[in-house]
Structure 1
Amino acid sequence: MPRILLAPDKFKGTLTAAEVARHLSIGVRSVLPEADVAVIPVADGGDGTLAAALAAGFTRVPVQATGPTGVPCGSAYGLRGAEAVVELAEVSGLAQLPDRRPAPLTATSRGTGELIAAALDGGARRVVVGIGGSACTDGGAGLLQALGATIQTATGSVVGAGGVGLLDAASLDLSGLHPGLAGAELVVACDVDNPLTGSRGAAAVYGPQKGAGPADVELLDSALTRWADLVARATGADRRDAPGAGAAGGVGFGLMAVLGATTRPGAELVFELTGLPDAVAGADLVVTGEGSLDAQTLHGKAPAAVAALARDKGVPAVAVAGQVTLTPDELGAAGLHAAYALVDEGASRQEALDAPGPLLERIGARIAREHLGGGR
């Protein structure tokens, strides 16, 4: 009986990873009804990380938290024993902006701090934080405030929300930090090495993606520089140039410089949480994928990491995607024996966007025939 492992990432804007796997499974079983099909959705530390953890057995714990613009939103973290998974995109991400209207100067990471606090209150002693997809550039200040830090202006008032509020920051008091932090391990899923400030910093590189114009970028970089000076005085160490400090608008800096968090590659961390390595070792074929299989896939994205893991364990791997722009040589170098694109399977690109499910089922059937001997 063939054993096939379905380990896709989401197809952003169309299907979740679990939905992708469900359609592929239907297609595989239409050709090989006796196949042993295992499903482990994957992610790279951005949106989809919580869903991957929940599929792996974590329990969803609902939390009402502060969205990026201060509007309360329904959110959640995952809990399994004393380990929790917090996804920044779930509460402080671009998708949480009301009407998707960017707020580059004032968006806050407070909600992510509220999720961490809730996880600590819920008994977590190891908190994994996926920080991809951030809407804010506040250096993690909002997150720290939610965890008990006090950031004030020279007149003693609380600083305003977002990166722009840090222009007036004059003092940082960490004495009120959540007591659960003292005995907890914080691990950050991070795949970038940008510093907090400067030409490669959070504002310059990622600010424009969050709606910041040139003047906004300059303002935010000045604010983050002021913030880094303040944190250095309060902690006795300057971490603004640490690799990953600029991740998620500087949330990486707040977690590392103030809370002592360590960083790990996002996909690697998610694989560990979901038990993917053992599942890959027991499979005859691994199927991974994402919305677009392109040059970015090769730089830390989950499908490339799945393929590398499969290659290391001597298991063949193929990929599915909405579109594939990688060459056969690039696919082979990444450890993929083949790649299937919805835009090639369907009659048009629009069909791939409007009705991806049936196309995935057809591709699942093709994979079963072409790689597992189905239908012979």
Structure 2
Amino acid sequence: MTSPTPAETRGPAAVPPTPDAPHVVVVPDSFKGSLAAPDVAAALRDGVLAAAPDARVTCLAMADGGEGTLDALLTTWRSPVRQAATVDAVGRATTARYAVSPDGRTGVVELAEASGLPAVSDVPLQPLHAGTRGTGDVAAAVLDAGVQEVLVCLGGSASTDGGAGLLVGLGARLLDADGRPVPDGGEGLAQVASLDLSGLHPRARQVRWRLAVDVTNPLVGELGAAAVFAPQKGAGAGEVAFLDEALTRWADLLERETGVRTHDLPGAGAAGGVPAALVALLGAEPEPGATLVAEAVGLPAAIEDAVLVLTGEGSFDSQSVRGKVADGVARLAAASPARPPVVVVAGQVLLPAEQTRAAGITAAFSIAPGPVGLDDLMSRTAARLTDVAASVTNLTLARR
């Protein structure tokens, strides 16, 4: 994966840094519903420079591999947005964005662009029929661009189709017992009897596939894609049972065809089971999304001489230290030569200090100045991020 040299960014009040100026790395996730990751980074940067005008500040927008990852990479890479004609999760014509790294080696497909829930929020949820064929169309466009590696960002899926639709978008055919193509979505999985890969995109098996996941759920069972995530996509109890059985049938078929078992593969339950198809048929590698994004934006190199790393997200809780951005940042900081302190700035902090320290995070601070309503907090997010970042910077540099 491409790892660009991070660019230092300076605020309007900054003064030119001296050779021994403190280096602060700002690497936040988005504050969902309030600020995108690049805007969060800018607000934190302003706070750092207010406290230390001569500081070197490196801003990197982060994401955990789900929605928002494409924007974070486009910002860091400064790459032009590319678009592909495709269909949404219920089969309506649409367009979806994708990205190619500056060196042309890595293509980025964000599943939510074509197959996400927000794009079909104007119609009733269709848990049995929604599929990922549109994401397959986008992946085919990325392959046509000549990349050597495809990063598929999973999250925000509207479907539970085990990645079958994505394969169809890449040119595969899923056939029932009579040799007819099966319908899109989990409904089709219950009917599929064979695979025809003769029309698969010619480059599909020539590139490296990496899957950014932020869950460890298996494909099937009580913790699987259907049981845990399908209710969020409109599935009732009967439909959950149907989808779990359909995914099991799909996993059985994939194992017969490839010898690869995906039923209980950690992470295979992400995005309605998409990893199952890509792992079994294309050798895809599921990895923690935050780690992949950190590598892509050049975070390991950025923190080598940092004296402080600031990260942030809307809510800092137990999930934050289980593969989310804060967790990935803390792990990289702990492995770096400088071992800089990592401080989280969040809308709300719900994780106790002891668990925060155990995760390798020095401290976590809320931007709420006291009892305050959510609307008020969100309306002044940027200003409060700047205030807290200034305080953290003052404290950190005073200790030096």
What TM-score range do you get, normalising by the shorter chain?
A: over 0.9
Specify the SS of the correspondent of 2:151: strand
Tell me which residue corresponds to 2:95: 74
Match of 2:267 in 1: 244
For the 8 Å contact 1:346–1:359, the answer to whether it is kept is: no
SS class of match (2:65): coil
The structural deviation recorded for 1:153 is 2.7
**Is the 1:163–1:220 contact (alpha carbons within 8 Å) kept by the matching residues of 2?**
yes
Structure 2 residue 355 is matched with structure 1 residue 335: no
- How many pairs were matched up? 374
Q: In structure 2, which of residues 139, 144, 149 is the aligned counterpart of residue 126 of structure 1?
A: 149
For residues 61-105 of structure 1, the C-alpha deviation after alignment (integer angstroms, 9 at most, x for no partner) is 222222112223332111122211111122212222233753221
1:261 matched to 2:284:
yes
**Alpha carbons 1:293, 1:323 under 8 Å: kept:** yes
Query: TM-score, normalised on structure 2?
Result: 0.88
Partner of 2:231: 208
Question: Is the Cα–Cα contact under 8 Å of residues 271 and 277 in structure 1 kept in the other structure?
Answer: yes
Q: Show the counterpart of 2:50.
A: 30
Distance 1:49 1:28 in 2: 24
Task: Give the structure 2 partner of residue 318 of structure 1.
Answer: 343
Q: Could you tell me which of 64, 69, 72 is aligned with 2:85?
A: 64
1:18 paired with 2:38, answer yes
Counterpart Cα distance in 2 of 1:294 and 1:222: 33
**Cα distance in structure 1, aligned partners of 2:280 and 2:323:** 24
TM-score, length basis structure 1: 0.93
From the two aligned structures, give the one with the greater helix fraction. Answer: 1
Listed as ranges, the matches of 1:137-156 within 5 Å are 137-156=160-179
Matched, 1:217 2:240: yes
Instruction: Determine helix, strand or coil for the equivalent of 1:9.
Output: coil
Identity %: 46
The answer on whether the counterparts of 1:107 and 1:163 sit within 8 Å (CA) in structure 2 is yes
Shift of residue 131 of structure 1? 1.1
Q: Which amino acid aligns with 1:116?
A: A
Residue ranges of structure 1 left out of the alignment (5+ in a row): none
> Partner letter of residue 48 of structure 1?
G
Q: Is the 8 A contact 1:343 1:349 kept in 2?
A: no
Aligned to 1:41: 61
| Cα root mean square deviation, aligned | 2.0
> In structure 1, what is the Cα distance between the partners aligned to 2:352 and 2:215?
25
Task: Report the residue type matching 1:196 in the other structure.
Answer: L
Give the deviation of 1:233 after TM superposition. 3.4
SS for the counterpart of 1:182 is coil
Which 10-residue stretch deviates more, 334-343 or 206-215? 334-343
* C-alpha contact (below 8 Å) 1:247/1:253 kept by paired residues: no
**Contact 1:58/1:79 (<8 A) preserved:** no
Question: For residues 56 and 45 of structure 2, what CA distance do their matches in structure 1 show?
Answer: 10
> Paired residue for 1:362?
387
| Of 9, 17, 27, the match for 1:7 | 27
User: What is the CA-CA distance between 1:341 and the residue it aligns to?
Assistant: 0.9
